Amino acid sequence: MKKNLIWSWFWIILSLLYFFVPLILTFVFSLQTLKDQFSFISYQRVFEDRGFIRSLIFSTEIGIVTIFLSLALMIPTVYWVRLKAPRIRPVIEFISLLPFVIPAIVLVFGLIRVFSGGLLPLTNTHLGTNFLLVAAYVVIGFPYLYRSIDAGMGAIDVVTLTEAAQSLGANWFTIMFRVIIPNLRAAIFSATFLTLAIVMGEFTVATFLVGLKSFGPYLWQVNQNRAYEGSALVIVSFLITWAFMGLIVLVGRGAGASDAAGPR
Amino acid sequence: MSNNSDVVASGEYHPKPPFRRKLSFAWAGVLPFLIFAFLFLGLPSFTLFIGGFQDSEGHFTLANIYGLFTPSILSAYWVTIRISFATALIGGLFGFFLAYALVLGGVPSWVRSALMTFSGVASNFAGVPLAQAFIFTLGRVGILTVFLRELLNIDLYEQGFSLYSFWGLTITYLYFQLPLMVLVITPALEGLKKEWREAAEILGATPGQYWWHVGIPVLMPSLLGSMILLFGNSFGAYATALSLTGGLINLVTILIGSQIRGDVLHNPNLGYALAFGMVVVMAVTMSAYYLLRRRSERWLRK
């Protein structure tokens, strides 16, 4: 048993070193803008750069629109399937898991091919391109969102709740917003924060559709040209991810975070 | 889709049988979802698929598929597969050891929950920031590289190490592979019942025998399945590789990226075939993962 414990600590400490050394050294790097002393100048420069604020706001907006569209699409669908059409549940589940099979780079390739001409030339306008970006993120978020919402609805008895509400005279709007959605709070919050964590730093889709306007490509650009500010941005970006994931834990369940494929 | 044509046809000639109407009613509620998925998931994939089988004038051809078997493209697939395999195997093993230490290693429970939470964060910390963090650490002028050279007189790059190479990429990918393995293998380890171990011990089994005859066979589907998931996870990685190597390493994703930016293959349709080839590999990978996961769930039922 003693030997067992030593091995456990060995693996844990080894992993902690591997996980934290790059972060700590990146932080140290970001403090070295001035030759002979530690300073936070690189951070000051990052925050003063207008591109930083602009791209951060842009990505946040895209993230928020993504969440609303995803929820508007997924909650009624999962609810409907559970209530009226349990037989087509496997179909919805299958479609929701498909994005795991299609790498982001392939998805954006296909989206550009379909929507840069033809019947729906979305990439011709800024609004259209932004919408395409949102659509791509909604699709990338399908697996997480589906699992989160489906698990949330599984935990409450949707059919009974609906019938109870109906017998009390509630209409569909009331049922949705005052019965179903409040009961899904935990699932919705964890899906929301995970989506935000993924969208905020996403690079692959963003770089081909909107480029430096969004945070991921902006971060990349800064790192190509200005190493110290780049390292400061890396730390900021890690803190953003950390904050959202921390919020998920705070909300109560790590559901949805347990599978593949964020912005690799 | 066939339901719609039924509605049109039946409206003109005969009333629909009642169960038909019920079925289309059932589909109606999921229509927004289906339309969205069709437009932004189905159509893009399908277009690439069709494009892969067309020549520049739109005629059917298998030339692009043959084109995938030329040395430059085969080597891109081969490098991608090797990296994914290496990170799946190494990440899988180390992740398993770490998860084992956390679940069965007898460490305090706060250590376990702290590390599980961290795994959730780290498995989502990928792409450009991750690659840059490793460049600042182990790159040519990274702090660790310089430290080792100046103070310990070990020059990693003289010794043949390079962060911008196969192994550098592998080390970097492990940062999201290892925690992902911890997250997906933990339920399987928790499913190992104490009774099995006790029963084995009462019957006189050594720990080695227990693992060989009970532990490993029970865990095998989960282990394999998780590693396959890890394989798929790094197979589609683009941002990390691009920002680490500046696009110098010949991965399929990098090749597709250059193809989108400016037709480096000089044949758009070959690009579509290349992209669809990735989907085929991923489809095989993920199907294997789900089959194995279903198998492993048999043991996990409480």
Kindly identify which residue of chain A lies nearest to residue B113, measuring between CA atoms. Answer: A249
Query: Of all residues in chain A, what percent carry a pLDDT higher than 90?
Result: 39
**Residue numbers of the domain that contains A152:** 53-251
Residue A259 predicted with pLDDT over 70: no
Instruction: Name the pLDDT band for A131 (thresholds 50, 70, 90).
Output: very high
Task: Report the C-alpha gap between A241 and A23 in whole angstroms.
Answer: 13
Residue A178 sits at the chain B interface (C-beta within 8 Å) = no
| A8 vs B1: which has the higher pLDDT | A8
ipTM: 0.87
- CB burial of residue B60 (10 Å; 0-12, 13-18, 19+): exposed
Residue B60 DSSP SS3: strand
pLDDT for B57-108, tens place per residue? 878 888 888 888 888 889 999 999 999 999 999 999 999 999 999 988 888 8
- Domain assignment present for residue A41? The answer is no
The per-residue pLDDT for A185 is 86
Task: Report the C-alpha gap between B149 and B158 in whole angstroms.
Answer: 10
pLDDT for A7-28, tens place per residue? 889 999 999 999 999 999 999 9
Task: Report the C-alpha gap between A136 and A210 in whole angstroms.
Answer: 12
pLDDT for A136-179, tens place per residue? 999 999 988 998 899 888 888 888 889 999 999 888 888 888 88
Task: Report the C-alpha gap between B242 and B251 in whole angstroms.
Answer: 9
Residue A180 sits at the chain B interface (C-beta within 8 Å) = no
The per-residue pLDDT for A66 is 95
Nearest residue, CB atoms, A254 vs list B48, B120, B184: B120
| Helix H or strand E encompassing A65 | helix A50-83
Instruction: Name the pLDDT band for A42 (thresholds 50, 70, 90).
Output: confident
| Residue of A186, A179, A187, A188 whose CA lies nearest to A158 | A179
The minimum CA-CA distance between B289 and chain A, rounded to whole Å, is 11
What is the overall mean pLDDT for chain B?
84
Task: Report the C-alpha gap between B136 and A201 in whole angstroms.
Answer: 19
Residue A116 sits at the chain B interface (C-beta within 8 Å) = no
pLDDT for B258-283, tens place per residue? 888 887 777 888 889 999 899 999 99
Domain ranges across chain B: 91-300
| A206 vs B246: which has the higher pLDDT | A206
For B91-300, the fitting CATH number among 1.50.10.10, 3.40.50.12780, 1.10.3720.10, 3.40.50.1000 is 1.10.3720.10
The per-residue pLDDT for A46 is 87
- Given a contact cutoff of 8 angstroms between Cβ atoms, the answer to whether B36 and A142 are in contact is no
The minimum CA-CA distance between A168 and chain B, rounded to whole Å, is 23
Q: Find the CATH number of the domain harbouring A230.
A: 1.10.3720.10
Residue A92 sits at the chain B interface (C-beta within 8 Å) = yes
Residue B12 predicted with pLDDT over 50: no
Instruction: Name the pLDDT band for A83 (thresholds 50, 70, 90).
Output: confident
Residue B288 predicted with pLDDT over 50: yes
The minimum CA-CA distance between B204 and chain A, rounded to whole Å, is 18
Which of B132, B231, B256 to mutate against chain A (most A CBs within 10 Å)?
Answer: B132
Query: Of all residues in chain B, what percent carry a pLDDT higher than 70?
Result: 91
Residue A84 CB: number of other CB atoms within 10 A? 17
The per-residue pLDDT for A132 is 94
- Cβ contact (<8 Å) for B101 and A8? yes
How far CA B163 is from CA of A47, A61, B95, B157, in Å, comes to 30, 35, 22, 9
How far CA B133 is from CA of A224, A227, B194, in Å, comes to 13, 11, 41
pLDDT for A24-41, tens place per residue? 999 998 998 877 788 888
The per-residue pLDDT for B198 is 87
Residue B263 DSSP SS3: coil
- Cβ contact (<8 Å) for A84 and B41? no
- Cβ contact (<8 Å) for B124 and A7? no
The per-residue pLDDT for B24 is 66
Q: Which range, of A237-246, B31-40, B67-76, B161-170, averages the lowest pLDDT?
A: A237-246
The per-residue pLDDT for A1 is 53
Task: Report the C-alpha gap between B256 and A21 in whole angstroms.
Answer: 33
Residue A251 CB: number of other CB atoms within 10 A? 18
On chain B, the residues whose CB falls within 8 A of the CB of A143 are: none
Kindly identify which residue of chain A lies nearest to residue B259, measuring between CA atoms. Answer: A109
The per-residue pLDDT for B300 is 63
Quick one: tokens of A114? 């379909």
Which of A105, A129, A190, A198 to mutate against chain B (most B CBs within 10 Å)?
Answer: A105
Kindly identify which residue of chain B lies nearest to residue A11, measuring between CA atoms. Answer: B98
- Given a contact cutoff of 8 angstroms between Cβ atoms, the answer to whether A263 and A216 are in contact is yes
Residue B8 predicted with pLDDT over 60: no
The per-residue pLDDT for B21 is 52
The per-residue pLDDT for A209 is 92
- Domain assignment present for residue A13? The answer is no
**DSSP letter at A100?**
G
- Cβ contact (<8 Å) for B45 and A102? yes
- Cβ contact (<8 Å) for A74 and B33? yes
- Averaged pLDDT, A182-205: 87
Instruction: Name the pLDDT band for B1 (thresholds 50, 70, 90).
Output: very low
pTM of the model: 0.86
Task: Report the C-alpha gap between B162 and B140 in whole angstroms.
Answer: 8
Residue A95 sits at the chain B interface (C-beta within 8 Å) = yes
- Domain assignment present for residue A4? The answer is no
Task: Report the C-alpha gap between A109 and B255 in whole angstroms.
Answer: 12
The per-residue pLDDT for B68 is 86
pLDDT for A49-77, tens place per residue? 888 999 999 999 999 999 999 999 999 99
The per-residue pLDDT for A2 is 65
Residue B16 predicted with pLDDT over 60: no
* Per-residue exposure over A116-155, b if at least 16 CB sit within 10 Å of its own CB, e if not: eeeeeebbeeeeebbbbbbbbbbbbbbbbbbbbbbbbbee
The per-residue pLDDT for B23 is 57
The per-residue pLDDT for B206 is 86
Domain count, chain A: 1
> Looking at this protein, which amino acid is placed at residue B202?
I
Quick one: tokens of A245? 């994931």
- Cβ contact (<8 Å) for A233 and B129? yes
Residue B44 predicted with pLDDT over 80: yes
